[in-house]
Structures are given as C-alpha cells and as structure tokens.
Amino acid sequence: MLRKLHGLPALFAVVFLVTLAVTGSMLALAPVLDRAGAVVPPAGEISVAQLAGRVAENYPGTEQIVRDLSGQVVVYYSRDGQTGADLVNPLTGERLAAYQPAAFFVWIRDLHRSFLLDTPGRMVAGISAALMLFVCLSGMVLLARRSGGWRALMRPLAGTGSQRFHAELARLAVLGLLLSALTGSFLSAQRFGLLPEASDPGPGFPAEVSGGQPRPVDRLKALTEVDLGDLRELVFPYPDDPRDVYSLTTTGGSGFVDQATGELLQFQPRSTGSAVQQWIMRLHTGEGLWWLGLILGVAALAVPVLSVTGAIIWWQRRWSSVKVQHRVAVDEADVVVLVGSEGGATWGFARALQTGLTKAGFRVHCAEMNALADAYPVASMLLLLTSTYGDGDAPASARQFMTRLRDFRAGSTLNYAVLGFGDRQFPNFCQFALEVDEALAGKGLSRIQPVELIDRCSAGRFSEWGDQLGTAIGSPLSLSHDPVPPRTVRLELAERVDYGLAVQAPTSILRFRLADPGRGWRSWFSRSRRHSLPAFEAGDLLGILPPQGQDARFYSLASSASDGVFEICVRKQPGGLCSGYLHGLKPGDSVEAFIRQNPGFRPVAGTVPVILIGAGAGIGPLTGFIRNNTARNPMYLYWGGRSATSDFLYQPELGHYLEDRRLTGLSTAFSRSAERAYVQDRLLQDQTALRQMIDTGAQVLVCGGREMAAGVKQVFEEILQPLRLDVDDLRVQGRYLEDVY
Ligand SMILES: Cc1cc2nc3c(=O)[nH]c(=O)nc-3n(C[C@H](O)[C@H](O)[C@H](O)COP(=O)(O)O)c2cc1C
C-alpha cells in the first residue's frame, strides 16, 4: 500500500516535480556564483561607518546601501536626476560593475515559484512541494524496510539493477530533497494564509531628532559600532534635510541614526519569529550558505533520474506481478496457494505451481499471504511460497500474515508445505519462510514435506521441489519456471587444461570465446547481439544450457570481459549431466550460454586485506580476483585440493602472481597426500594472523562446495570469538561473502 502511495503522487506530479527540481538546482547555483564574485572582508575589519564613508566619496548621490547574504554590496544612487545601482568593492567603495539581477535567473525563479502562471501556478508549486515531502517521507520508510530497519539505513544496499540504483541515489539525495520540500511547503502554506507569517512592523519614526549640523557619515558613532558583516541595509537621509535620519537594518534588528549626534534611535531588535522566518528562507534558497546551495542543487538534480528509475521499477513490478488468473473460490478449492512477494519474482513460480496443480486435476485458489482466510473449509493442502526481504523480514504481500494467522482455524484435514525464496548472500537466508513454517506447525497443521529453500530463483530447485511434492501427494507434478528467460550467445571452446584424473577428481579449466558468426546478414545480426552481451567480471556466473533441454547450470567465471575469454573451472560430478557434457567438449565445440551478474560476490576495493578461501573448482573466481589485483592490495589465498601433483589448479599462474605481488600469501592443503589436510586446518594454523587481519577490517570470500563452506564458517566462528564477533556480524557488514554450490 505504502509503495503505491509513494509512486502515485510521483507519477501524477512528475512534470511539476521535475520542473521544480531542475529550476531549484539552477537557482541554487545563484548563491554560489554570487559568493564567488563577492569581495568579503573578514569579520571586524570594516565597520558600516567606514563603508558608508568610502561609498559616499565615490557616489555623492548615494540613497541606499544594501548588503545581501552572499556578501555582495549594492549602492543605489542618483546622479544628474538619473537613478542607478552599482556593485561596489566594500574595501574601497569603488564601482565593480553595474548591478543587474540576471534576467535568466529572474525567469527561472518565476518558473520555480509559479510555473510562470502567477497565483494558480504558485498553488500548483505549493501542492507539488507537499507531494514531494510525502514522496520523500514514504521513500524513507520504504528504504528502511528494504534495509531491515532504521538503524540499518546506512548499510550497503542489496539487490541489482534499477531498484538498487534508485535506492542508492535516493539515499544520497533524500536529506537535501526533504529540506527543500519541507521549507518549500512551509513557505507556500504561509503565502496562502494556511500558516501565520512572522513580520516585524519596524520601529516608528523617532519623535526627537537633534536637527543639528550633519556630520560626515564615517564619523557617526552608531555606524562605527556595526560590523559590515551584520549590515543588511542603510538608507541615507534626504540631502539638505537636517531633521531626516539614516535608517539602519542589521541582522539583529532595525532603527535610525541621528545625522548630527550619530546616536542610535528607536532600535527594535528582530523578533524570534522573523529570525526563524529568515532562516527558513535561507534553508530553502541556500542564500548566504553557498555550500548548502550546492548540496540542495545536487540533490534536486537527482529528481529527474529518480523519476526515470522509479518508472522503470513500477513497470517491472507491474509486468512481473500480473496476478494469477482463473482462480477457484476459497470455499470450493481443494488446494490453497498463498504467495509472499516484494519484487514480484515469487508470483511467477506460484503461477507455474497453479498451472501444474490444475493440470493434475486439483481445484486451486491462489492469493497473496496477506489474504489468508479465517478458514479453508474444503481444502486439504495449503502451499505457501514466500520470499524474504529487508533483514530476514516478511515481503510486502505477507506482512500481515502472522497477525492473521492468530485467528486462523486450521481444521484437522489441512496439511501444508512452505517453499522459501531468498538469496544466500543475505545473513538471514529465507528467514521469513522458516518462521512461517514454524508458525504453521505451532498451529497444529501437519507438514506435507519439510520446508525447502530456493537460492536466487533457481529454476532447477523449483522443479525438484515440484517432483518431491508430486510424490508426497501421490500425483506427479511437472513444474517448470525460469523467471528470467536468458538471451544466450554461442561460445566456442578455445582451450582446456585438465587436472585431477589421478585422484578421481577430474576438473578442467575451460576457456571459451564468442563463436565466429560467419558471413552474411545473419552474421551481422549475431554480431550486433554479441555487442549486447552484458559486461562481466570475475565472480559473475556463466549459465550454460545443456543440450538435452534441461535447465541452465551456473559456473562462476574466473575471467572478466577485458580478458577476452569466458573462463570457468568445472569438476566432473558423478552422474552430472552438464558437467559431463562440458568435460566431453573438444576445442572448437560450441555451447549456448549467458551471463548472470553476481555483484554480491566481489572483493572490496582499497587497502584492507582480502582473504580468499576455496576448495577444488572454487578456485576459479578467486584466481580471477587475484589476476585483477593490479593495485597490489593485500590478498591471501587458502585453497584445498586432493594432490599437489594432480589437481593443483592454476599452480603456474599463482606462482607468477606471488612473484609480482598480486598475491600476498598462498596456503594450500591436500587431502590425498601425506599431510592429509583440509583448508580449515590451514585457517586454524594461521588463526592469530587471520584474527589480526579481521580486526583491521579484512574481508573474507569463500567459494566452493556447501560442506567446505560450512566447515570454514565453523572455523571462523572460533577465530572471531576473542573479537566478540561472529560470521553473521561480518556478513551484515559485507565482509564475509560466500559463493557456494
Ligand atoms: C533489499 C533486499 C533484501 C533482501 N533480504 C533478504 C534476506 O534477508 N534473506 C534472503 O534470503 N533473501 C533476501 N533478499 C532476496 C530475495 O528474497 C530474493 O531475491 C527473492 O527471490 C525475491 O522474490 P520477490 O521478488 O518475490 O520478493 C533480499 C532482496 C532484496 C532486494
């Protein structure tokens, strides 16, 4: 709901908001330019009396001196019956230039304040400012939910693509935008009488004026006591009228100065209300606060970009959340499928499940988890598919589920199964699905099968879950859904290096290149597709389609696009279809493949140590990171294999990287040699050094099989204990990353 409310005003008012923002950012430049052109003496160096004396010397017909908040001094004068205005140097009182407010800025200001439409335009500008305020506040709430709470707002953000970019940019700009929107709404509300406006009526003309012989202005006592920095305005008396007075306005208040005695008359300090009013104006315009002007201007420039990324997100969400159709009414359904989703991906799986169950003869009711009914009178199966969001929290369409569950009457015939969708890069992998599973068991429902957790929308795991469910309910199900149908390219095997045959762990380094597109218009077409291949880096995934039409299998890339090859390490799994297929390839053979980016698995840039840990084929991306470490930042590799003579992958390259210092330290463990050691043993041996590195901010990246990763995690819990840290703490800070399979 809040998401819709966040998007709607932005959608309707986008033209106005973007106009306000762009003109606002241009206006914010004015104080910066004014300040750059102004001569500003240090505080205490020049008094108003000295300034007025120097100005009066150069401009005998001075009528008024005005100092704006940027420090510019303007003299209004009359000469030979003509009036004029000049910018002057306050140090000398000499003319710098004729004073002319830039026509361009005047026009932009009118556009900003009223869209050039006077009062109706001012109203629209006011309403737009209020909408902006709402968009900022609702956006902050959504950002906090996304990050897992207000305290987590500054943590590195998760996700990819437009969503991540939108959130990152919004987080940078939101304070500036909030300040502009808040002060803008306030000023508009005052203008239309919705809020009272503080105004000082000013002091009355003094009843007693000496009327004596006027003294030169630079000798008037009251003016010698005011510093130039405090001056706002000094209006000169009419010439030849000894009963007239100087009228003085400073940052502290206003009053009059007797031109003969130099005494300050009727001084009235500025009221608090008027000071506040002035501050609000300054906070909105940045006038006199050039650095704030810059911040507001840059923040405002983010609005057009946020509008575009916001529209893309809205469209993506709409596209992916086209809800399930042809659903059966609640009290007629024998299977109820409930969906918890934030970004829409889980709905695609739910549609596939609904189709599979319907084909198998079930009557399926499908709805979001927030719509949990009080009871399902006829249903015998409740299937819940849910993602996890924020920091292990419920996604939007399941946020009210736990509350509704309290009043849910389960009945004795209803059994359930939970399928969680999440991402292992997050510390609380599929946490919400686990909680839902527990809560349903706590309600007395029986599980059809244990809760299953799916990492990064794996199509393969989903269809395996479907097979298990089909077996459990005695009705075979064939589920297939790949949320992002990949656009593949043809790759040709250029080279392979084989290891591990002697120790029954055949593992190969395979290097592919884009297949030659041949000649003719077809080749032109494939060449242009080639260029649309996304850039990739070591650690991204190469999806390979096995020829038998099975789902893609993913392999971590050891190379980056700049290397000109697609390099992967593949261990031949017993009975593995895709790994068997890849191991059977000869140079010149080709495969269909695509790139899936994996931005969550990358070493940090900078000088903090990076500890790389892997076993077997997991060395691939780790070697890629070392190869890219041309800045020679400290990087340590712990790697475990079977035998130094048979499966020591990348041995020559690693030796070379040690020599040229791209790799700082290498520690290996071999399980089928005399030492019979695992990578965990090496970590334990080096625990003091590792602890010290972690204490200085080091990052850990683990790549390899699930069992090895679990062992490494256990060792790290031990290493971290004296630091009063655990692996989850490091994960939250993006300092413990895993790529496991
Ligand atoms: C901001 C954000 C926070 C996430 N938090 C978690 C999390 O705490 N645990 C987890 O397992 N997955 C987390 N994920 C991954 C999502 O659960 C996963 O991408 C899921 O497939 C999204 O499905 P949906 O589009 O239906 O919501 C997060 C994703 C994003 C973008």
Phi, psi angles (nearest 5°) of residue 114? -145, 15
Where is 440: in which H helix or E strand?
Answer: helix 431-442
What residues contact residue 389 under an 8 Å CB cut-off, 6+ apart? 145, 146, 342, 395, 396, 432
Query: How distant, in Å, are the alpha carbons of 465, 639, 712 from that of 691?
Result: 40, 18, 14
* CB 395, CB 386: distance < 8 Å: yes
pLDDT of residue 160: 64
**Model ipTM value:** 0.99
- For residue 317, how far is its CA from the centre of ligand 1 (angstroms)? 14
345 Cβ below 6 A of ligand 1: yes
Residue for token pair 């399928």: 419
Tell which residue, 73, 77, 51, has the closest CA to residue 64.
77
Strands 507-514 and 489-499: antiparallel
Which of 164, 387, 401, 738 has most ligand 1 atoms within 8 Å of CB, for mutation?
387
Q: Where are the domains of the chain?
A: 2-32+116-198+294-314, 40-90+201-270, 321-473, 489-596, 610-740
What's the rounded Cα separation, in Å, for the pair 272 and 502? 86
Instruction: Check: CB of residue 354 under 8 Å from CB of residue 393.
Output: no
Kindly give the number of the ligand 1 atom that is closest to the alpha carbon of 430: 11
Please give the C-alpha separations between residue 424 and each of 158, 421, 457, in angstroms, as whole numbers: 12, 10, 11
The torsion of the CA quartet 582, 585, 589, 591, rounded to 10 degrees, works out to -10
Q: Give the 3-state secondary structure of residue 529.
A: helix
> Across the 741 residues of the chain, what is the mean pLDDT of every consecutive 10-residue run?
67 78 85 80 92 95 92 93 92 91 85 88 90 91 82 72 85 93 93 82 86 92 94 93 93 93 92 88 84 88 90 75 66 93 88 91 92 90 94 88 91 91 87 96 92 88 90 86 74 94 89 75 51 75 83 88 92 88 94 82 91 96 96 96 92 96 96 91 96 96 91 95 91 85 78
Please name the amino acid found at residue 6.
H
Give the CA angle between residues 646, 647, 653 to the nearest 5°.
110
Judge whether 544 and 555 are in contact, CB under 8 Å: yes
Burial of 272 (0-12, 13-18, 19+ CB in 10 A): exposed
Residue 439 CA to residue 432 CA, distance in Å, equals: 10
Per the CATH hierarchy, to which homologous superfamily does domain 321-473 belong? Flavodoxin domain (3.40.50.360)
Q: Nearest to residue 174, comparing CAs of 222, 234, 132, 232?
A: 132
Q: What is the CATH number of domain 489-596?
A: 2.40.30.10
E strand or H helix at 707: helix 706-720
Q: What does the pLDDT read at residue 728?
A: 84
Ligand 1 atom having least distance to the Cα of 391: 8
Nearest CA to ligand 1 atom 28: 389
DSSP state letter for 47: B
Cα 457 to ligand 1 centre (Å): 10
Task: For strands 446-447 and 590-596, give the pairing.
Answer: unpaired
How many angstroms separate the CA atoms of 239 and 595, rounded?
83
Question: Does this chain's domain 321-473 share its CATH topology with 610-740?
Answer: yes
Contact 679, 619 (CB under 8 A): no
Q: Quick one: pLDDT at residue 522? A: 52
Q: Whose CA is nearest to atom 22 of ligand 1?
A: 387
Task: Provide CATH code, domain 610-740.
Answer: 3.40.50.80
Cα four-point dihedral sign 215, 218, 219, 221? positive
- 3-state DSSP assignment of residue 64: strand
Residue 676 has phi, psi (to 5 degrees) of 45, 50
Residue (of 390, 345, 401, 393) closest to 368 by Cα position: 401
Ligand 1 lined by 146 (C-beta under 6 Å): yes
Contact call for residues 630 and 545 (beta carbons, < 8 A): no
Which ligand 1 atom lies nearest to the CA of residue 424? 11
How much is the pTM? 0.56
Q: Which of 699, 603, 614 is nearest to 649 (CA)?
A: 614
Beta strands in 515-589 (DSSP E): 541-545, 553-556, 566-571
Q: 12 — phi, psi (to 5°)?
A: -70, -40
Distance CA 43, CA 480 (A): 75
Amino acid type, 250: T
The rounded distance, in Å, linking the Cα atoms of 333 and 381 is: 9
Residue 7 Cα, ligand 1 centroid: separation in angstroms?
21
DSSP 8-state secondary structure symbol assigned to residue 536 = -
Report the pLDDT value the prediction gives residue 518, as an integer from 0 to 100: 56
